[in-house]
Structure 1
Amino acid sequence: MPSARLTASGVALALVLAPAVASAAGPQGPGQDAHDLDLTLLATTDMHGRVLNWDYFKDATYTERSGDTVGLAKVASVVDQVRTEVGDDSLLVVDNGDAIQGTPLTYYYAKVEPVAETGEDHPMATAYNQIGYDAQVVGNHEFNYGLDHLRAYEGDLAMPLLGANVVDAQTGEPWLEPWTMVTKKVEGHKPVKVGILGLTTPGSAIWDKGVVEGTLEFRDMVETAAEYVPQMRAAGADVVVVLSHAGKGPSSYDTSLLPPENPSDVIARTVPGIDVMVVGHTHRDVPQEVIHNEVTGEPVLLTQPYRWGGTVTRVDLDLEKSRGQWDVKDAAGMAYRTRDFVEDPAVVAAAAQAHGRTVDYVNQVVATATEEMSGAESFWKDTAIVDFIQHVQTETVDQALEGTAYADVPVLSIAAPFSRTALFPAGDVTIRDMAGLYIYDNTLEAVTMTGAQVRDYLEYSAKYFATVPAGESFDPASDVNADGTPDYNYDMLSGVSYELDLSQPVGDRVENLALADGTPVTDDMEFVVAVNNYRRSGGGAFPHVSTAPVVYNEQQEIRQLLIDWASARGVIDPADFSVENWWLTVADVPVAP
């Protein structure tokens, strides 16, 4: 059994250690005797197609208000520094999945020049190989582009791609390698065997049903860990690391249909024999968390790097001999922010051709707009450019539900005014113009809601506006963002018509809520509502939506859906989708345009 005691001093070190201090510490800490041995684990997760610190939609270097940067080229410089510090024989580098979806780069090599057809190396694999990773777990987004694409990517990797709970639906045998054993031979010491187990969230069975149904099954992560961890120990693993492409907390789907989505903490608490877990999927920034195993009482260190390579987490393991075997005595975690590092020239060079092709692709014209469409007034007025989002979301969900029990249920759509600078010029519209409209990496989901819930939702959204007394005029320059509500938390609905009377108090503003044919919406009516994953997961604390039954979730990026729709038609004409269906009023007097 492991005895990974996390000392109080270890916690303090993890919280304050900076890259310069880490580099000066050396491979062996103070107070260790000749029988002690240090191992260092570096981890990334949820890279989502980021090789370089580049924003393909802005055609510029990536910037974030926090100052964080992205990309494997930045990660490479962190790894190089730590490898120089501790030595390659004492270092393991792992990735926690969701690598090959998320940017135009990965879209290009999945759809435009598919690596499964061209035989070219996947640019993400090229970058991982250049850095020198030891193992990766498959993430749920690895299945987005199909199994042939995933197999091609797997073949390009110089490391094993793990997935113990991903099994062949016909045989029950593992579809991916369940675990791997990495042996580290530090001069003067007995070799250390590190077992690395890969587990991924079962949600892919729903999100990529069209890809995996009948071919793959996704088994319970907790039960799978309980099966394989003892096998790894029996095979001689001195240290057990679990790569868990899952977070902590509730599931976004009905767990009577699938095992839980985010059971990382349950695995740590209930499965004995684990020393370290790398956590992912939820895009949180948690360098270190300790959970005590309820069977052994021993601590398990959980580390979650920030998404896209914003951080690389480091776990330092202090090993000691116990009855001739290595045992984990102490463990401490911390994070390097990649903004403090330059891009590695070798990774930049390796990615140059793929990057250049992608830049050319992003700057392509996708369609011609028949007239200019601006988002400048979308935060207080129904505009064609937001109606474009609503139309694509509605059409996507409506088509996906054909032949299901929800085929005849009215589909509504929710969108927010993300950008006041959004603009489709009259004439050529590029992929970058699309990105200027939909600035977030949201995916599309759909839930069922009642008429009463839809009304509650709109009332909550209407708190965005200040109260305007009867007889006074609404001023879009001052009567919005009430109580600090940001633009992205003002939601508009399509598929129904309604008015918001700003002379009324918050919670009593929605009037004349009706179907498109004028039929008043009653409390017991049922609707399917298209919504982005941020809102559906609780972002903005809107009522009902986070607990509503999910009927559609294929993990498709909304931005890409907009691009695909425009590309398929070649023309963006407001006459095809623009419907004025909501208005602001003051004491029943329409707000002047």
Structure 2
Amino acid sequence: MTNKANIKILYTSDVHGNALPINYGTNEQADLGLAKYATLIKKTREINDHVIVIDNGDLIQGTPFMTHYVKKHSGKQNPMISIMNRIGIDAGVIGNHEFNFGKGILLDAIKQSNYPWLSANSLDEKTGNPYFGPPYSIKTLSNGIKAAIVGVTTHYIPNWETPEHIQGIQFADACTTLQHWVDEIRLKEKCDLLIAAYHGGFERDIETGKVTENLTGENQGYEMAEKIDGIDILLTGHQHRILTGMIRDCLIIQPGNNAENYGKVDVELQQEENGWVITSKQASVKTLEGIEADPVILKNNEELEQSTQNWLDKPIGHIEGDMTIKDPLQARMEKHPFIEFIQKVQMDISGADISVTSLFSNDSPGFSSTVTMRDIVTNYKYPNTLIVLSLTGRDIKQALERSATYFVLDPKGNLTVNPDYISPKSQHYNYDMWEGLNYTIRVSKPNGNKVENISYQGNSLDMDKTYHVVMNNYRASGGGNFDMLKNKPVVKEIQQDMVELISNYIQKHKTIKAAITNNFSVKA
């Protein structure tokens, strides 16, 4: 009788610090988080003999829970790691946001893990070897089936991350590196199943192959599946998309973000004379809706969660006037008092008289009359620091033109958001607003010529003169395809993160008046 086997691969990607089933912005219970996922894994193992569990990166950063842990409790075990250890995952992958809190926090997390962290293309600059450990992991199941898991990370990280956070690490091309290790694994390990886990997404439509984003190298999923022979399953992430499909004979999947969903792959194999052969493979994305949270995980994190809630609910100041955001598009088309407030904080701490910021998300509510830490972290989601760059007027003009591509005109001639900023990944944070300059964006004009009447202190912006401009470290590194900002002279670095700077500013002034300076406009 022919021997058959069924393997279930379950994986998360872009969990972003969501340990518990709660939305910290609203403080309401939600169908998300690793505590619920743990219950799902336990039940799956109870009825299946062959289960492989993987996390695909961006695990340890993204919620107030994790921000508070890093600021106040980092001497204790990382809660995301303790949960993954309890779940018993087989491997994790390094994501780009793993570096946001600094290399020390990441290395501590790795030391605490009972599983390997994979990133074959994150290399030690001195030795050329993978920096974080083995490039791949082998799991041999009880029936002798041998599964290889190889991990790679988007190599675009140096375009975003603070240099000291990635000191000593070189990020090799993810696709080229994966090609090397797939060939190596197939030759040496004689595995029955090869899983590639890539913290990166797709640069092309998975069905048509049509280019869907700038081919910067940030996302190479399509190229990997199209060019590399020997990958049975390609697990992806980074873009926060939900998709499944086939590219050639490679099964691909991406399960969204925030542990709202998880990826599930069912693989059937049949034993033949020369070993096990895959007869079918199917991918699906499942929700955690209706699944009970693991009570042990809830209990273990009770103290940290209560400390987080106390920190979030502490009133730190008041707003005089209206600083709430009711229409995010309108808040990007004309000056909003919340945006002006962020600019003032940046200019106050840096001493620069030109400032750049974004409205990161359409979910940002702004500030109501009483401001708590919860309000700050809900609006300012990233652990950004500030950098003052010395930019020429020409650099500034190019950056303004880049932001101006955020808007397009719909068929009726109305202003709307460029679809490229919505799909395949929401990128509202890549539209910047400037303080200290006056300017007009004319959307109907061609790219590169949309920004008019740029002036500084009453005079036209001098293309050859240099100006000091404060912005977050992500943008200062050229993140968001702002290449004109890369490698520009650094005037000053402020190492405190913006959540702390905003909090300090409000506590210092106690009452903040909602005000606007109408320095820019967006017109058809």
* Class of the TM-score when normalised by the shorter of the 2 chains: 0.7 to 0.9
Q: Provide the identity percentage.
A: 24
Distance change >3 Å, CA 514–CA 207, structure 1 → 2: closer
Say whether 1:518 aligns with 2:441.
no
2:371 is matched with 429
Distance change >3 Å, CA 165–CA 506, structure 1 → 2: closer
Alignment partner of 2:199 out of 239, 245, 257: 245
Instruction: Describe the SS at the equivalent of 1:78.
Output: helix
The 5 A counterparts of 1:561-580 are 561-569=497-505, 570-572=507-509, 580=517
TM-score (norm 2): 0.77
Q: Distance in 2 between matches of 1:274 and 1:140?
A: 23
1:355 CA displacement = 1.8
2:425 is matched with none
1:164 is matched with 120
Say whether 1:551 aligns with 2:493.
no
Q: Distance in 1 between matches of 2:473 and 2:229?
A: 38
The 5 A counterparts of 1:246-261 are 246-249=200-203, 260-261=217-218
Q: Distance in 1 between matches of 2:225 and 2:361?
A: 41
2:238 is matched with 281
Equivalent AA in structure 2 for residue 374 of structure 1: M
Higher mean C-alpha displacement, 120-129 vs 375-384: 375-384
1:75 CA displacement = 1.5
Equivalent AA in structure 1 for residue 517 of structure 2: E
Deviation string 1:533-574 (CA, Å, 9 cap, x unpaired) is: 89x999xxxxxx867645389xxxxxx954211333432478
Alpha carbons 1:135, 1:161 under 8 Å: kept: yes
Q: Distance in 1 between matches of 2:343 and 2:230?
A: 50
Say whether 1:205 aligns with 2:205.
no
1:462 CA displacement = 9.8
Alpha carbons 2:319, 2:513 under 8 Å: kept: no
2:324 is matched with 375
1:130 is matched with 86
Equivalent AA in structure 2 for residue 249 of structure 1: E
1:80 CA displacement = 2.9
Q: Distance in 1 between matches of 2:167 and 2:402?
A: 40
Distance change >3 Å, CA 512–CA 181, structure 1 → 2: closer
The 5 A counterparts of 1:483-522 are 493-498=434-439, 513-521=453-461
Alignment partner of 1:174 out of 111, 114, 130: 130
1:276 CA displacement = 1.0
Higher mean C-alpha displacement, 570-579 vs 333-342: 570-579
The 5 A counterparts of 1:396-545 are 411-415=355-359, 422-425=366-369, 429-435=371-377, 438=379, 451=397, 454=400, 493-498=434-439, 513-521=453-461
Instruction: Describe the SS at the equivalent of 2:459.
Output: coil
1:335 CA displacement = 1.7
Alpha carbons 1:497, 1:512 under 8 Å: kept: no
Deviation string 1:345-387 (CA, Å, 9 cap, x unpaired) is: 233233322222221221234x434745533688477454321
Bigger Rg, which one = 1
Alpha carbons 1:48, 1:100 under 8 Å: kept: yes
Alignment partner of 1:50 out of 18, 39, 60: 18
Instruction: Describe the SS at the equivalent of 2:129.
Output: coil
Q: Distance in 1 between matches of 2:325 and 2:254?
A: 38
1:236 is matched with 190
Instruction: Describe the SS at the equivalent of 2:486.
Output: strand
Q: Distance in 2 between matches of 1:462 and 1:308?
A: 30
Cα RMSD, aligned residues only? 4.5
Q: Distance in 2 between matches of 1:158 and 1:76?
A: 16
1:141 is matched with 97
Alpha carbons 1:205, 1:212 under 8 Å: kept: no
Distance change >3 Å, CA 100–CA 562, structure 1 → 2: same
Alignment coverage as a number of residue pairs: 482
Q: Distance in 2 between matches of 1:228 and 1:483?
A: 45
Distance change >3 Å, CA 507–CA 393, structure 1 → 2: farther
Instruction: Describe the SS at the equivalent of 2:458.
Output: coil
Q: Distance in 2 between matches of 1:575 and 1:357?
A: 27
Alpha carbons 1:418, 1:439 under 8 Å: kept: no
Alignment partner of 1:103 out of 63, 79, 85: 63
Contiguous gaps of at least 5 residues in structure 2: 205-211, 423-427, 489-495
Q: Distance in 2 between matches of 1:463 and 1:273?
A: 45
Alignment partner of 2:178 out of 225, 232, 256: 225
